[in-house]
Amino acid sequence: MTSDDDVAPPQESAAQEAPSPAAAPAWSRYAMDEEIGAGAVLLADATLNDVDAFRKTWHRISVQSSPALPTDVTESTLELPGPAGAISATVFAPAEAGEALPGILLIHSGAFVGGSTASVRGQAIDLCREVGALVVAVEYRLAPEHPYPAAVDDCDAAWQWLSAPGSGQWLSAPGSGLNVDPARLAIHGTSAGGALAIAVALRARDRGGIAPRLLFLNSPELDDRRSSASMAKFVDTPGFTARDAEISWRLYLGDITPGSDEVPADAAPARAENLRGLPPTYLALMEFDPLRDEGLAFAGKLLADEVPVELHLFPGTFHGSSALAHAEVSRRELDEEVAVLRRALSGGGRS
């Protein structure tokens, strides 16, 4: 187990004096993609040293990057039944839908403590248009106010709602006629949302419920023990650092000590001993990401348990770098996301 004292604190000098304008950023020593590296400074304020500031930074980024709603997509905010009261969800659907649609449960990132449906609004619109799917973005409860298992419970409730027989009838828009095909559903999670996506899939498997056709994971945060080589190496990368991971797990687990034997597998999926029966899984990993190696290890465990896996490690990237959509490598990442989901939900073969 690692205590707070074992994790290197932020540089005191950085807090005491402003850096020289000519000083190179700490991450400049990594061989980042040229376009990615040039934009990394835009995400420099997204640190968990101050959770309130972290939330405000991502809210600002979300508002600034949120697109206008195109005419071929509808957007509705619904209240779903949850274990601790109503759960807010935003539903994006094709404006012209003549038959049962594939569905995607979209679980946002934010290190378990930040993010919102607003932070994935642009992504949800794109997936709705490009995949032709109904996309449900869930507003799960955040730590530290609501530690584990609140977020898992909320996302699981949203999944049960989406995958329930006759689920197309829940849309409140009169005469919408929208319906969802329970045989063509996917769960999509990024970063902390990746851990939540796996937890939902594990719960669905264990209770014999409807399984997603695809589990899509982008840079998932999976292991509270934080013992991988990439976690030890990438202590100062933009987007997410080893220090951020320590804070994230401590706040998320609440009264459970990170690294202890009490941490359950649906909180930290790297601890799951049996992955058999999970759906085909796609993992997108970033080269300069503390979470990289736990993603690689999870892919190996899936393969060992005979779960079909597709893995893509994007070179020169860091955690959350796809937000820099101008970069060619980000465009490839986003194009592949659409292609993988479209293929899995089209009614054809496995992903």
Q: Is the residue at 271 inside a domain?
A: yes
Q: Is the residue at 56 inside a domain?
A: no
- Round to the nearest angstrom and report the end-to-end CA distance of the chain: 37
Q: Is the residue at 60 inside a domain?
A: no
Nearest to 341 by CA among 116, 119, 164, 184: 184
Which pLDDT belongs to residue 160? 94
Q: Is the residue at 49 inside a domain?
A: no
Q: Is the residue at 85 inside a domain?
A: yes
According to DSSP, the residues that pair with 180 across neighbouring strands are 101
User: For residue 110, what are the domain limits?
Assistant: 76-345
**Count of structural domains, the chain:** 1
Residue listed under structure tokens 């378990």: 112
Residue pLDDT, tens place only, 155-206: 999 999 999 865 544 444 434 456 889 999 999 999 999 999 999 999 999 9
SS percent in the chain: helix, strand, coil, step 5: 40, 20, 40
Report yes or no: 239 and 43 within 8 Å, Cβ to Cβ.
yes
Indicate which CATH number applies to the domain containing 224.
Answer: 3.40.50.1820
What CA–CA distance (Å, rounded) separates 239 from 336?
21
Which pLDDT belongs to residue 22? 47
Q: Is the residue at 191 inside a domain?
A: yes
Q: Is the residue at 33 inside a domain?
A: no
What CA–CA distance (Å, rounded) separates 238 from 37?
9
Nearest to 76 by CA among 109, 130, 126, 125: 125
Q: Is the residue at 14 inside a domain?
A: no
CA neighbours within 13 Å on the CB side: how many for 221? 26
Q: Which residues are catalytic?
A: 191, 289, 319
Residue pLDDT, tens place only, 284-310: 999 999 999 999 999 999 999 999 999
pLDDT of the chain, 351 residues: tens digit per residue: 444 444 333 333 333 344 444 466 666 788 889 888 777 776 666 679 899 989 988 888 887 888 999 999 999 999 999 999 999 999 999 998 767 899 999 999 999 999 999 999 999 999 999 999 999 999 999 999 999 999 999 999 999 999 986 554 444 443 445 688 999 999 999 999 999 999 999 999 999 999 999 999 999 999 999 999 999 999 988 889 999 999 999 999 999 999 999 999 999 999 999 999 999 999 999 999 999 999 999 999 999 999 999 999 999 999 999 988 889 999 999 999 999 999 999 964 343
